Chains A and B, each alone.
Chain A
Amino acid sequence: MTGFAQGLLSALLRDTHLITPQLFLIIVATLMLWPGDLFFNRNEKHKWAPITQVILAVTAVLVTVTTDGEGFSRMFRMDGLTRGFQMLCVVATAGTVLLSMRLLDSLKQQTVEYYALILFSLSGMLFLCGASDLISVYFSIELMAICIYILVAYLRDRATSVEAGMKYFLLGAFSSGILVYGISLLYGAAGGVTTNLADLNQALALTPTTSNLLVYAGVLMVLVGMAFKVAAVPFHMWAPDAYEGAPTPITAFMATAPKAAALAAFLRVFGAGFHGVSSDWVLPLSYIAGASMILGNVAAVKQVSMKRLLAYSSIAHVGYMLLGVLSGDPRAGAQAVWLYMLIYIVMNTGAFAVVIYLQGKGESERIEDFKGLGRKHPVLAFAMMIFLLSLAGIPPLVGFFGKFYLFKLAIEQGFVTLTVLALLTSAVSAYYYLGVVNQMYFREPEGETAPMGAGPVFIVTLTCALVLVGTAFGPWLLEWAGRIFWV
C-alpha cells in the first residue's frame, strides 16, 4: 500500500510542472478570496484589477516556460497547440480585466469575487486547452463554465443579467449531460478500457461493425455537447440572451477566451481522438459550421443592440473557425484557427471597448447610440471602423488575412461549397458592420461631446494599433504562428 502511495506521489511530483500555470492561478485566486480580500476596504476593491493583471502576466510567463510533456495518466498534454491556445486565453482574459475596471467602477460593483472567478475560469480553460482525455475535457469544461455562469449573473440586481445566467446555466448543464452521455457511449464502444483520446482513436478503429451505431451516437453526442460550448448553430440559442444580459466585459470574455479553449478541445478531440472515425462527424460538423455562418450573419443584420449584434457575429465567426477543425490536416487546421482566434480576440476586444466606453457615458448599447460618433470622437470612431471592417474581412486589414488562411486551407481540403458559403456570408456580414459605420459617420450626432476616460481609450488605442500592425505584417502572420508554437 505504501508502495502505491509512493508511486502516486512521485508520479504527481513528476507531472506537476505541466500544470504550473493552472496551479498558480488556483492558488492565487483562492488566496485572493481569503485572506487577500481582508486587506482592502470597500472603496479599494478596484485595486484588484491591476493585481489580476499582474497575476495574468505571471501566468503568461509560466505558460511559455512550461515544458512539453504528457502526464497525469495521459490526461493532460502540454504541447505547441496547448501552449498556443493557452496564450490566447490569457490574452483574452487580460483584455477582459482591462475592460472591467471602468465599468465595474461606474456600477459600484467592484468585488474580489469577480476577478477570482475570472481566474478560476481561466484555469479551467488552460486545462481544457491541454486535455487529452475525454474525462479531463469534461471536467475542464465544467470548471470553466460554472465560473462563467456566475459571472453572467454577476449584476444580481438586474433582471436581465440573472435571467441570462439562469438560461445559460440550465442549457449548459443540459448540454454537459449530453456530452457525458456521449463519452460513456464511446467508452463502452471502445471496449470499456480507455477514454484517452489517442487510445480511443485506435480502439474505435478496431470496434466491430455491430457497434457502429454506438460509436456514431457517441461521437454525435460529444459533438453536440461541444458545439453548445462554442455556441454553434443549432446549439446557439443561449448565446444572444446570455451575451446581452451579461455585464459587457463578460460578454467580451465569453466571446473570446472560452471559445479559444473550446476550439482547442475541438481540434484535439476531433483532430486526434476521432480522427479514425471522421466519416461519422465530418458531415454533421460541416452542417453545423455552415448553419452557424448563415444564421449568425443573417440574424445579426436585424439587431438593434450592439451586444446582440456582436453575439450573432461571434456565432458566425465560430462557423468560420470550425472550417479549420474540419481540415484533414490537424496541424495546419490548428494553426489557421489559432491565428484567426488571435486576430478575432484583438478585434473583438477593441469593439467591446468602444461599446463599454459608450455605456460608461450612460448610453445604452443600442446601435443608434453610435450616431455621430465620427463627429464626437473621431479617434474612437476611426478605431471602431477599423475593427468593424477588419471583422468583416475587408482587405488589407488583418481580419482578411485570418479569413484568407482559413479559407485557403478549407479549399485545399476540398470543402469548396462550405468555403463559398463562408465567403458569401462574410459579404453579408459587411452589411451589418457597415451599418454601424453608417451610424458613426453619416448620421448627425445627438447630445454633447463627453470627455473620454483613460481606461477604454487605452485599450481602444492598443487594440487598434495591434490591428494596424497586424495588417502591415498580415502576409507573414501564418508563418510566424507556425514558428512560435509548432517548431
Chain B
Amino acid sequence: MFTANTTLMLVATFLPLLGALVLIFVPKDQRRVFEIGSLLVMIAHLLLSLPFWFGYDRASDAVQWFQAWTWIPALGVKFAVGMDGISLLLWLLTTFIGPIAIACSFKSIEERHKEYYIWMLVLQTAMLGVFITQDMFLFYLFWEVMLVPMYFLIAIWGGPQKLYAAIKLFLYTLAGSVLMLVALLAIYFLQHKTTGSYDFSLASFQAMAPVIAQQSKTYQHLMALAFFIGFAIKVPMFPFHTWLPDAHVQAPTAGSVILAAILLKMGTYGFVRFLLPIMPTATKDLMPWFIGLSLIGIIYGALVAMIQKDMKKLVAYSSVSHLGLCMLGVFALNPYGIKGGLFQMLNHGISTSGLFLVVGIVYERRHTRMIADFGGLSKSMPVYATIFMIMTMSSIGLPLLNGFIGEGIILMGSFQAFPWAAVVATLGIILGAAYMLWMFQRVMFGPISAVNEKMDDLNLREVLYFAPLVVAAFWIGLYPKPIMDVMDAPVRKLVEQVTPGYYAAEALAVKQAIAAKLGMQGMAAPHHGSATSESPNGEQEHPAGHGTAHGEAPATPTHEHPAQGGGN
C-alpha cells in the first residue's frame, strides 16, 4: 500500500508530533484517550516505517530517499533528510521501541497523563529526526530538542531524586553538545575558507576530511575532542557516565527504556556518522585514549554493576559496560568491528530495554527494586521468569540469542586491530555473565517470602509488549543476515572513508597469501607472475592504508612476498 519514499519517511517521523498536537486539545481527565491514542499513533508510525525495511536497496551505500529543501540560504542550511543502512536500523529500532514504551506506561503512570503522553510523543519525533537528518544544523536542533521532553519525563514522573537526576542529565548533555557546536562551526568556517561556500550539509562536512587532515595537529585534536566529548557524554563512556545511573534509576520505566534503547545510541551513532568520517586522522591519533576509555568502561561498568543492590541500577551500570563494548568495536575501525558495534547497539536496545521493563514489572507490583526484597519469584511468576531469563541470556550473549552475534563480531574486529583489547573485553563479558546471572539467581530462585508469593504473573498487556522484544532477540540471534546486509554497504563506505584503500589492501593481501602458499608448493611460476602483475596496482593504493595500525596487519604479506619469491 505504501512505498518507501521521502514523504512517507517524513510522515512517519512527524506523526508522533502531530499526535501530540492533537492530544493537547483533549481534556486532561480523559486518561484512556491519551493512553490508547498515543499507543495508536506509535503503532501507526511503526507500520509506516516498515516499508523502509523492505524498500531499502541493500546493494547501494548511498543515502537513500534523500531530499533537501532550502531552509536558511544565508547560512547554507538545508532541510535535508535521507537514510543509509546505519540510520535506517536505528530509525527502525526507534519506531519499534515507541509502542512498547507507551504500552508499559499504562499502569505505572498515575498522574498528569496528558503531559506524559504528549512529552513521549514529542520525544519520539525528536529522536527519529536525529536519525534521518542529513544536515549538521538540523542534526544539532533535533539533538538538543530531545533533551527537553526527557528532562520533563524524568523530573515529573521520576523517583525520589528526580529533580537532581533530570538536571544532571540536562546539564551534562548540554555541556557536551555546546562543545560539539563549536567544533561544528569551526569546521564550517574552515570549509568556507577552502571552498568559498557556506554549507552545513553532512556530505560537505564529510568531504572536508582531507582538508582537516592537513590542519595542525592541535587543531585536529581539539576538534576531535570536542566531538568526542559531546558524543561520549551521550553514550556514556567512562569518565562521563555519572549521569546515567542517576537518570536511569530515577526515570519512570518507559523513560529508562527510551533512554537505554535510543538515547544512548545517539552517542554511538554520532561517533559512526560524524567523528569517524569527518576526522579520521585525528581519531586514529587519539585512538589509544578512546580504546582505553572503552575498556575501562567495560570493566568498570561490570564491576560496579556487580555490587549493586538495586536491580535498576545494576542494569544501568551494565549499560555502561555494554556500550563500552560497542565503542570498542567501532573504534577498531575495521568492517567487523564497526558492524559488530552497530549490531550491538541494536542488541543493547532490545535486551536492555527488555531488562528495564522486567525491573519495571516488579516495581509496579512491589514498589521496590532491591534485589534483597525478592527471591523465588520463579514459583509465583513462571511466565515472568521465562521472559526475564530470555532477556538476561540475550544481554550476556548466549548463543542463539542476539547478544552472542554482536559480541562475537566485535571481538573479531577488535582482535584484528588490538588483540590485547579483545582479551580485556572478553574479561568484561565474563563479568557481565556473572552479575546478570547472579541477579537472576537471587531474584528468581531461593526461598520465597509471603509477600512475593502473592505477586501476580504477567497479564496479557505485559506479555504483548514483551513479545516483540523476545521475537526480535531470537530472530536476530538465529538469522542475523538481513540486518548485516543492510549495514554492509554503508559500513564498507565508512571504512573506506576512514582508511582509504582498506579493501584494496585487504584483497591484495589475500591474493598474495594465496599466491605465496601456491608458490611454496612449487607451482609458483605462472601464479607468481600473475601475482606480481597485480601488485603494482595494489602498491599504488597501498601507502594510504599502510600508515595506519589497521593497514599493517593485512600489509605484512606484501613485505614478505619478495623474500619468498627470491627463495623460490
Contacts and interface: CB of A to CB of B under 8 A. Distances in A.
B558 to A, nearest CB: 43
Interface in B36-72: 71-72
B472 to A, nearest CB: 33
Contacts of A423: 178-179, 181-182
B182 A419 contact: yes
Interface stretch (B145-153, B207-215, B300-308, B520-528): B145-153
B185 A442 contact: no
Contacts of A31: none
B189 to A, nearest CB: 5
A84 B75 CA distance: 22
Contact of A395 (B73, B75, B144, B188): B144
B434 interface: no
Q: Is the interface of A mostly helix, strand, loop or mixed?
A: helix
A158 B199 CA distance: 57
A430 B174 contact: yes
Contacts of B155: 438, 441-442
A475 B144 contact: no
A61 interface: no
B10 interface: no
A119 to B, nearest CB: 37
B74 A478 contact: yes
B185 A407 contact: yes
A396 B145 contact: yes
B391 to A, nearest CB: 32
A239 B147 CA distance: 33
A426 B178 contact: yes
B156 A408 contact: no
B141 interface: yes
A395 B189 CA distance: 21
B171 A427 contact: yes
A206 interface: no
A434 B151 contact: yes
Given A395-B140, A430-B171, A408 B182 contact: no
A411 B189 contact: yes
Contacts of B148: 389, 394
B71 A475 contact: yes
B170 interface: yes
A439 to B, nearest CB: 10
B167 interface: yes
Contacts of B178: 423-424, 426-427
A442 B175 contact: no
A435 B174 CA distance: 15
Q: A interface, how many residues as a size bin? A: 20 to 34
B551 to A, nearest CB: 33
B158 to A, nearest CB: 9
Interface string B183-194: 001101100000
Contacts of B185: 407-408, 411-412, 419
Contacts of A431: 167, 171
B401 to A, nearest CB: 39
Contacts of B72: 475-476, 479
A441 B167 CA distance: 14
Contact of B175 (A395, A408, A416, A427): A427
Given A395-B140, A430-B174, A475 B182 contact: no
Interface in A443-487: 475-476, 478-479
Nearest to B181: A423
B156 A441 contact: yes
A476 B77 CA distance: 11
B163 interface: yes
Interface in A240-281: none
B23 to A, nearest CB: 15
Contacts of B145: 395-396
Contacts of B162: 442
Contacts of B73: 479
Nearest to A405: B75
Nearest to B175: A427
A420 interface: yes
Nearest to A419: B182
Nearest to A425: B178
Interface in A122-146: none
Interface string A155-187: 000000000000000000000000000000000
Contacts of A408: 75, 185, 188
Contacts of A420: 179, 182
Contacts of A478: 74-75
A477 to B, nearest CB: 9
A368 to B, nearest CB: 14
Contacts of B171: 427-428, 430-431
Could you say which of A426, A427, A442, A478 has the most chain B C-beta atoms within 10 Å of its C-beta? A427
Contacts of B152: 441
A74 B151 CA distance: 55
A240 to B, nearest CB: 24
Contacts of A389: 148
A391 B13 CA distance: 28
Given A416-B182, A423-B181, A427-B174, A394 B156 contact: no
Contact of A479 (B74, B156, B175): B74
A179 B144 CA distance: 43
A392 B171 CA distance: 11
A400 B141 CA distance: 10
Could you say which of A389, A395, A438, A441 has the most chain B C-beta atoms within 10 Å of its C-beta? A395
Contact of B156 (A400, A442, A475, A476): A442
Interface string B153-171: 0011000001100010011
A395 B156 contact: no
Interface string A359-389: 0000000000000000000000000000001
B99 to A, nearest CB: 26
Nearest to A417: B182
Could you say which of B74, B151, B155, B181 has the most chain A C-beta atoms within 10 Å of its C-beta? B181
A383 to B, nearest CB: 15
A394 B144 contact: yes
Could you say which of A389, A420, A426 has the most chain B C-beta atoms within 10 Å of its C-beta? A420
Q: Across the A-B interface, give the 7 residue pairs with the lowest CB-CB distance, nearest first.
A: A423-B178, A475-B72, A427-B174, A395-B144, A427-B175, A411-B185, A395-B141
25 contacts: A395-B141, A395-B144, A395-B145, A408-B185, A411-B189, A412-B189, A416-B182, A416-B186, A423-B178, A424-B175, A424-B178, A427-B174, A428-B171, A430-B171, A430-B174, A431-B171, A434-B151, A435-B167, A441-B152, A442-B155, A475-B72, A475-B75, A475-B77, A479-B72, A479-B74
Interface of B: 71-75, 77, 140-141, 144-145, 147-148, 151-152, 155-156, 162-163, 167, 170-171, 174-175, 178-179, 181-182, 185-186, 188-189
Given A396-B144, A430-B171, A478-B75, 4 more contacts: A394-B144, A395-B144, A412-B185, A426-B178
Interface of A: 389, 394-396, 400, 407-408, 411-412, 416, 419-420, 423-424, 426-428, 430-431, 434-435, 438, 441-442, 475-476, 478-479
